[in-house]
Every structure is written in C-alpha cells, then in structure tokens.
Structure 1
Amino acid sequence: MKRKNIARFGNPELVKSLMPNYSSSRPVVKFYLLLAAMTLIILALARPQFGTGTETVKRHGIQVMIAVDVSNSMRATDVSPDRLDVAKQLLSSLIDKLSNDQIGIVVFAGEAQVQLPITSDNIAAKMFLSNISTNMISYQGTAIGSAIDLSLKSLASTSKAGRAIVLLTDGENFEDNAIDAAKLAAKKGIMVDVVGVGTPQGSPIPISGTMSYMKDQQGNVVVTHLNEQMCKEIAAAGKGIYVRADNSDNALRAVNNSLQQLATAPIENEVYSTSNEQFVNLAWLAFFLLLIDMIILERKNKWINQFKWF
C-alpha cells in the first residue's frame, strides 16, 4: 500500500532520493515484532505447562482415616448451616493441621464406602472432602460399625506410625454394633475419636429443593437427635475422645490434641513430579519484543546514520 502511495507522487527512485530517512524494512520488522509479542501474550494467558520438577519428600507422621456420616439426618439444621457442612468445615481445618500425615476418607450411611484411600496428598483430601454429600449413598441408614471396620481395613497394618479413626456422626446407629467395631480397632492399636454433630434437642430433616420436611409412614415429621450416649460409648470402646462439634473451634482443637499424642514414624518417601509453569518466561519474552518494537523507529535515525560503521 505504501509503495502504491509513493508511486502516485512520481518515480519511486526519485521520491526515495527526496526522503533519505525513509525505510521500507523497518515497518515490516515492527509489524512482525508486534505480531510475535501479541502471540506470546496470548500463549502466556493460556498458562502452558511443560517440563517436570521433582521433589523428594520425607515424612514423619501418623495415619488417620476420617469416617463421615452422610445419612439423611446429616441435613438437619440444629447446627448452622447444617450437620454435614459443620462436619466438612471441621475436617477441612483438621486436614490443614495434618500436613505431614497420611489421610483417608470413608463415607457411610446404610453402608460404608471408601471415598479416598490413605494418601499424603492433602490437596486431594480436601478436594474429595468438598464433594461429599448426602446423595453419595443410596442405601440409607447409619452403619457406624461398618464405617469403623472399613476404616480399619484401610489403615496399613505394618505401619509403625500411630493410627487413628476420626468418626463424625450424629450417633443414630441403626444397622450394626458400632461398639464392638470400636473395641476391635482399639485391640489393634487404633484409636477411635468421635465427633458428635448436632444437638440432643434435634431438628426436622429438610427435603432438598423443597420447603418440606421428611415424614415417617404415619405422616409425622421426623425429628433427628444427636445421640451423645452412643457417641461416648463408641469413643470409650475405641480408647479415644468424644467431643461435640459446634460453630466454635473447640472440637477441632480437642481432636487435634488427641491425634498429637500418637507416635509419629517415617511413613513414606515420595517423589512428586509436576509440570512447570511457563507463562512467566513467555510474558518476559513478549515484554522484550514490545520494548524492541518501541525502540525501533519507522524511519532511519539521522543521528545513528552519522556514524560510519563499516
């Protein structure tokens, strides 16, 4: 386009002699510099990751299986916002404190399931914890004994590290003998701490997505209560502590202090392999290209042309 405009004034060679500082190459160079810089900025915003970084981690800690009650009664709102959310908030803070330890998660209602096998990845533990809901297990009920048995099987029997099960429930056990399961855990050297969630006064159970409450076969509204007596008996059988969860951090401190009494031991040496973020390098390269583009003028520099470089 520029060549056509110059040709309109006359012979390009003659016009060129009248414009000694004109450069036909510099605008092209500046265009490609700007194009390259914009491309790098777009790539940087995409946050590319490649390459690997390795880190050897030596851990001394304990093994903790967390068993969370996800039965319908955990939707009760006698603690705010509801029992399950209070339990999850407490566990999220507890996981932060167990940074050097191995953690696993079991969920249970009428049956128990492993949500997260024992791991040292606290980030994964919190991610799995956030996904826990009362819709995870279709078979309703409260099988605390099954949850303790499954947690027991999930802990490494050969580990020299202290082992514990932290049980969060409202204590309404209808399916099995939780006390015998806790005694078996204690016999194998595994402490069972119990966190009661709810209040003895209890509350109705909201039905998700409605303004109604669960009712029994006779049409009466079901009121669920925290069974503290059951929780205390399970904790005593498992040689652990019982504490009631509320909106303070008392339960968190009590459980953490209990776990701190367990002996730590080397539990694993892990090598993590991660992808390295490359957006910083691309951003710096784009910055330098833009800087060069600003320095280069579209016309020849008369001051520089005064020097005889060759």
Structure 2
Amino acid sequence: MDWYRSFSTTEIVFLSLFIVGYILYLTRVIRINRAIPVGYRAVVFKVGLRALYFVLFLVALLGPLMGKATKEIQAVGKDIFILVDLSQSMNANDVQPSRLEKVKYELKDIVKSFSSDRIGLIIFSSEAFIQSPLTYDQSALNMFIDALNTSLVPNSGTDFTPALRLALEKFEKDEENPSQQKSKVLLLISDGEDFGDDISAVSEKIQQSGIRLFTLGVGTEQGSQLVVRGVPKTDRSGNVVISKLKPQALQQLANQTNGQYFEISGRQDDTERLISSVGQIEGELRDSRQIDASANKYFYFLLLGVGLFLVDHLIKLKTIRI
C-alpha cells in the first residue's frame, strides 16, 4: 500500500501526546485502585477502543492509496493575439478615465481569464509592432499592458490592416502549434476610426484561415475633444477635433470573419461577454501525459474511526472517568 503523505512530525506529535496522556491516565487508575479496588476490565476495554480509533484517524491522515491505475491528463489551449489601437484618439476621455486606461484595466481581466492559453500583444496606429510574442507568462503580459501609451507608435492616423497582417504572419510562422487554425483568435481593440483602404483582402484571408476575429469598440458616439499636451487638437480649419466611436467598421470586420463585435462605452461594458465568447472556442491539444490515479481511501478509515468514537461516548462503563 502506498501513502499520500509520509509519516512526519505532525503524526509523531499526535502519537506522542496520545501515549503520554494514557500513561498518565493509567498511572492514576493504578494509584486509585490500590486504595479502592475497582478492577481493570472496563479500563482496558476503553483504552483499547480509543487506541483503535486513534490509529484509524492516523491512517486517514496519512492517506492510504489503493488501486493501481493511470490516467491521461491533456493540456488544451488557444493562441490569442490582442491588437490594441494606440492612436491619439485613444486618449479621449468619453470613457473614464480615458479610452486607453479603460482598455488597460479590462485587458488584465482578459489575460487572467485565459491562463492556460498563449497570449500575444500587438500595438498599432498606422503601423503595427509586436509588443509581446505569444506567451503563457501573465506577469510579463501585465507589465507590457501597464506600459501601453500612445507615444509607442507613430501618430499619423489609424489603419487596422498592418496589425491584422502582422498577426496572421506570426500565426503562420508559429512552429509550436501550426495544426489547428480554429484554435487561433484575434481580438482587435479600437475606437473604430480606420483610415486604411485595404481591409477587405486581409479580412478575406482571416476568414479562409478559419481564425476567429473579435472586435471591441471603445468610446461613445457622442465622443469628446482630443487634448494633446494640454491643448485641444484642431483640424486644418481651426475646428476642435471631436473623436467619436465608429462601430460600423468594427462590426463589419467581425461579421466578415465569423466573429463578434463588443463594446465598452458609457452605457455598457461587454468585457465579460467577450471573455465568455472567446472561452467557448475549442482549444487544441498542447501536451498529454500519464499520471498515477491511485485513489486516496482515507474516507473509509475516517468513517470507521468516527463510528468507534461515537460508540466510545455512547457506551457507559463503570470505570473511573478521565
């Protein structure tokens, strides 16, 4: 028989206390019996009964493992690239404290929810860059998320295409898990202000690859002013620029790629719905191994010990009480 845990200091302490306690108890019984003969039969029965259920409790604590069997454990996961828009419009504060700060807060929940999946981070405006390759390291991902700001990328407008192409390229070059495209996910986060003009070709390629694309719009349709270095941004005519959420491009992109559109605005926060939808996508097999599946049968010993304990307290014998 194997054991879940070895005989350690804890068990030695319990056993020592039991032995010392009953040595003192028997010494007291012998001393009293010399003055008033009461007999030892009941005392021996009680000591034997209590020693028996004490041993049963001790065995249950050690955890007897019975039955020889093995069980296959499979690690299943997805690959998720998160594409974050870092154009100047993400500094708008129609979503408090700002669009970007709200995204950073929600991204940490998203990363935490997919601890068994590899997650990568791509940042973009008119150009796209890898902020973090696909990784299981959530601490590193959270560090990269904390560092997100609009100064990390060129601020010359927004174009979804370079970010989507870069993600597809990284998926295609991934040698660790090239097999199942259906376990690969793209999450595009933006306020929807896309000034690119070649989105149809890349969306068609995503659809053909079987990769699921989810889009998350951040902002409000009323919008807010853009403030750059403390000064409201103006256009060429001198008018103050108002940045608004434009969900149409994001919705269309999600529809074209068999994905879904979600939104974070003043009235709603679809982060939990997004996490639920991505979580429903079937992952692919990462690793498989055999483990010992011998069952811990402590419960039987514990149950028998409790039964004897109750018998001990229900049967009253004429003996000296402890």
Aligned partners of 1:243 and 1:121: how far apart in 2?
Answer: 26
Where structure 1 has 5 or more consecutive residues not aligned to the other structure, the ranges are 1-56, 270-310
Cα distance per residue 1:190-230 (max 9 Å; x no partner): 1110000001111111113x2x2111122111111111111
Aligned partners of 2:87 and 2:78: how far apart in 1?
Answer: 28
Aligned partners of 2:158 and 2:186: how far apart in 1?
Answer: 17
Task: Give the equivalent residue in structure 1 for 2:25.
Answer: none
Task: Give the equivalent residue in structure 2 for 1:177.
Answer: 198
User: What secondary structure, in the 3-state scheme, does the structure 2 residue paired with 1:145 have?
Assistant: helix
Residue 167 (structure 2) pairs with residue 151 (structure 1): yes
Partner AA of 1:219 in structure 2: G
Confirm or deny: 8 A CA contact 1:146 1:178 kept in the other structure: no
Task: Give the equivalent residue in structure 2 for 1:304.
Answer: none
User: What secondary structure, in the 3-state scheme, does the structure 2 residue paired with 1:135 have?
Assistant: helix
User: What secondary structure, in the 3-state scheme, does the structure 2 residue paired with 1:123 have?
Assistant: helix
Where structure 2 has 5 or more consecutive residues not aligned to the other structure, the ranges are 1-72, 289-322
Task: Give the equivalent residue in structure 2 for 1:112.
Answer: 128
Confirm or deny: 8 A CA contact 2:161 2:199 kept in the other structure: yes
Confirm or deny: 8 A CA contact 2:76 2:116 kept in the other structure: yes
Aligned partners of 1:121 and 1:267: how far apart in 2?
Answer: 16
Partner AA of 2:82 in structure 1: I
Aligned partners of 1:247 and 1:63: how far apart in 2?
Answer: 30
Task: Give the equivalent residue in structure 1 for 2:55.
Answer: none
Task: Give the equivalent residue in structure 1 for 2:253.
Answer: 234
Which residue, 60, 71, 84 being the options, matches 2:100?
84
Partner AA of 1:230 in structure 2: A
Partner AA of 2:214 in structure 1: D
Which residue, 176, 179, 188 being the options, matches 1:167?
188
Summarize the alignment of residues 1-310 of structure 1 with structure 2, pairs less than 5 Å apart: 59-155=75-171, 156=174, 158-160=178-180, 162-208=183-229, 210=230, 212-246=231-265, 250-267=269-286
Task: Give the equivalent residue in structure 2 for 1:296.
Answer: none
Distance 1:130 1:102, change over 3 A: same
Aligned partners of 2:74 and 2:183: how far apart in 1?
Answer: 17
Aligned partners of 1:224 and 1:108: how far apart in 2?
Answer: 18
User: What secondary structure, in the 3-state scheme, does the structure 2 residue paired with 1:254 have?
Assistant: helix
The answer to which structure has the higher helix fraction is 2
Confirm or deny: 8 A CA contact 1:195 1:245 kept in the other structure: yes
Aligned partners of 1:176 and 1:229: how far apart in 2?
Answer: 15
User: What secondary structure, in the 3-state scheme, does the structure 1 residue paired with 2:94 have?
Assistant: coil
CA RMSD after TM alignment: 2.0
Aligned residue-pair number: 211
Aligned partners of 2:223 and 2:269: how far apart in 1?
Answer: 20
- Sequence identity of aligned pairs in percent? 30
Confirm or deny: 8 A CA contact 2:81 2:119 kept in the other structure: yes
| TM-score w.r.t. length of structure 2 | 0.62
